[in-house]
Structure 1
Amino acid sequence: MLKTVASSTINATTTLITCPNVNLHCSSYPLSGPFLNRFTKSTKQTLRPLRTLSKPFATTTMNILNKLGFGSPRAQQSSADASIAQGPDDDVPAPGQEFAQFGAGCFWGVELAFQRVAGVKKTEVGYTQGFLHNPSYEDVCSGTTNHSEVVRVHYDPKECSFDTLLDVFWARHDPTTLNRQGNDVGTQYRSGIYFYTPEQENAAKESLERQQKLLNRKIVTEILPAKKFYRAEEYHQQYLEKGGRFGFKQSSSKGCNDPIRCYG
């Protein structure tokens, strides 16, 4: 429900969001069979400003506001912005480490899955593949910048193969739903593998072919060169390990196989 403060018209600076029974929900999916590991929580409250709303509800609201003309003004791209944003990821990993980028829906749960992998030294969540330079979460959720929510993995190839990371990627989400994972809908939630080397590209394509033979529906995962990575706002980083909205901390210990509960 949209409610304005001291005004009968929608005002982008004064709009509050109230939700009597929001199902705060971000699903994780196995490779096949019924979707598992769902965590839901109903609550009755006035939510915080859009930057800290639960992701599914915030995304839907922002898309509605954008269609009404209240979307992020920064989402209006320029050719200079597009050129920078579409350039390669020119960051340099630590000595002895390599980068990998994966998009598999809401990046909170995906990041925790990779945090638990032996040989992964660091993870970051962020935005890539879009046309806007230095996008914010609000920009990405406007649905106009074409960014994907991704996890950039820093890993030691001597301790963790790229194929191992691919296995985690496929197991974490449903790669057959276009621009959607559960209640999270939008291009930012698309399935993607973004490679840094020809070896990663070949491994990704071969892995996709193997997965396709296991599924009854067509995989829609995109496999593209890694482009400039924009680190997401700090509150998104290691979100579930830090406890998320409700303070329910989840283990990032290597080898931990506790179910990942993804919540706003």
Structure 2
Amino acid sequence: MLQILSLPAPARPLVIFASSSSSFKTKFTITPSFFPKSPKNPSSLSKTLKLTPMSSWLGKLGLGFGSRPGAATDSASASASSVAQGPDDDIPAPGQQFAQFGAGCFWGVELVFQRIPGVSKTEVGYTQGFTHNPSYNDVCSGTTNHSEVVRVQFDPKECSYDDLLDAFWARHDPTTLNRQGNDVGTQYRSGIYFYTPEQEKAARESLEKQQQALNRKIVTEVLPAKKFYRAEEYHQQYLAKGGRFGFKQSTEKGCNDPIRCYGEFANAPPWDVICC
């Protein structure tokens, strides 16, 4: 074991650069408190340091063998990613089931499912990403891999999973990759996220049926439901609450009114109808 034979106590902090990169240097400041105070008898310092292994000093600096700067941060990031990639462990109400769908901007998608008889609750949020507890801005940055989704809670006695799948396919274009209308980005991708083997089977069979009816390849992903991060409150039931222009849109069961993401005006342009 390498040992320090002698070392005078520094009068001021030492600065060590752990990286020699010309573009980036990680700086560590070693304050005198890391070292034994200089004794009146110099030989005493020498004896003290002879008994102190180099690994001990490095350990105090976070530079011990098997360690590197940022290791703790990396570990925390890996842990957060593990949580984000884990299953959705929320529990639906008794007798109810969950389903998750991504079909573009979640404002309009949520209203579609709100109107379906047998659906008792809807929430918009983020899933399938790598970061824990993302914000809307994080997701929009395109760096988290999250998808904007609607989590639907439904009573299977009143509404079948196939009914939800039919609404999903009718709502969007499943052949456009990472895009719905003017909304572009990985967060707008088409996806069905299943909770049970039965849901997976139904989703895949439904996709195959839809593909037979289209001459373009469907890009919808069918994956297990992962951790659901509820979006900020102002996104919840956005259109039912009035959207950006204060025009409240009906959530009545069975309602077939056109869904307008940005409000309704007498001279509303065509793109204002079903645009998100």
Q: State the TM-score, normalizing by the size of structure 1.
A: 0.70
Q: Measure, in 1, the Cα distance between the counterparts of 2:95 and 2:205.
A: 25
Shift of residue 263, structure 1, vs aligned partner? 2.2
* Count of aligned pairs between the two proteins: 188
**1:16-95 matched pairs, under 5 angstroms:** 78-95=77-94
Aligned AA (1:145): T
Please tell me whether residue 262 in structure 1 is matched to residue 261 in structure 2: yes
Q: Measure, in 1, the Cα distance between the counterparts of 2:183 and 2:258.
A: 19
Shift of residue 176, structure 1, vs aligned partner? 0.1
Shift of residue 152, structure 1, vs aligned partner? 0.1
Aligned to 2:191: 192
Aligned to 1:230: 229
Identity %: 85
**Per-residue Cα deviation, 1:97-132 (whole angstroms, up to 9, x for no partner):** 000000000000000000000000000000000000
Aligned to 1:134: 133
Aligned to 1:105: 104
**Per-residue Cα deviation, 1:36-61 (whole angstroms, up to 9, x for no partner):** xxxxxxxxxxxxxxxxxxxxxxxxxx
Q: Which has the larger radius of gyration?
A: 2
Aligned to 1:160: 159
Aligned AA (2:119): V
Q: Measure, in 2, the Cα distance between the counterparts of 1:260 and 1:215.
A: 24
Shift of residue 81, structure 1, vs aligned partner? 1.2
**Per-residue Cα deviation, 1:150-192 (whole angstroms, up to 9, x for no partner):** 0000000000000000000000000000000011000000000
Shift of residue 262, structure 1, vs aligned partner? 1.4
How big is the alpha-carbon RMSD for the aligned residues of Structure 1 and Structure 2? 0.9
Q: SS of the residue aligned with 1:99?
A: strand
Aligned to 2:206: 207
Q: SS of the residue aligned with 1:238?
A: coil
Aligned to 1:73: none
Q: Measure, in 1, the Cα distance between the counterparts of 2:123 and 2:230.
A: 7
Q: Measure, in 1, the Cα distance between the counterparts of 2:201 and 2:224.
A: 12
Q: SS of the residue aligned with 2:173?
A: coil
Aligned AA (1:141): C
Q: State the TM-score, normalizing by the size of structure 2.
A: 0.67
Aligned AA (2:189): R
Q: Measure, in 2, the Cα distance between the counterparts of 1:229 and 1:180.
A: 21
Instruction: Kindly indicate which of the two structures has a greater share of residues assigned to strand.
Output: 1
Please tell me whether residue 150 in structure 1 is matched to residue 149 in structure 2: yes
Aligned to 1:180: 179
Q: Measure, in 1, the Cα distance between the counterparts of 2:94 and 2:151.
A: 16
Q: Measure, in 1, the Cα distance between the counterparts of 2:109 and 2:262.
A: 12
Aligned AA (1:129): Q
Aligned AA (2:165): L
Q: Measure, in 2, the Cα distance between the counterparts of 1:80 and 1:199.
A: 30
Q: SS of the residue aligned with 1:78?
A: helix
Structure 2: gaps of 5 or more residues: 1-75, 264-276
> Which portions of structure 1, spanning 4 or more consecutive aligned residues, are displaced by more than 3 angstroms?
none
**Per-residue Cα deviation, 1:178-229 (whole angstroms, up to 9, x for no partner):** 0000110000000000000000000000000010011110000000000000
Structure with greater contact order relative to length (CA < 8 Å, sep ≥ 6): 1
**1:246-257 matched pairs, under 5 angstroms:** 246-257=245-256
Aligned to 2:28: none
Structure 1: gaps of 5 or more residues: 1-76
Q: SS of the residue aligned with 1:83?
A: helix
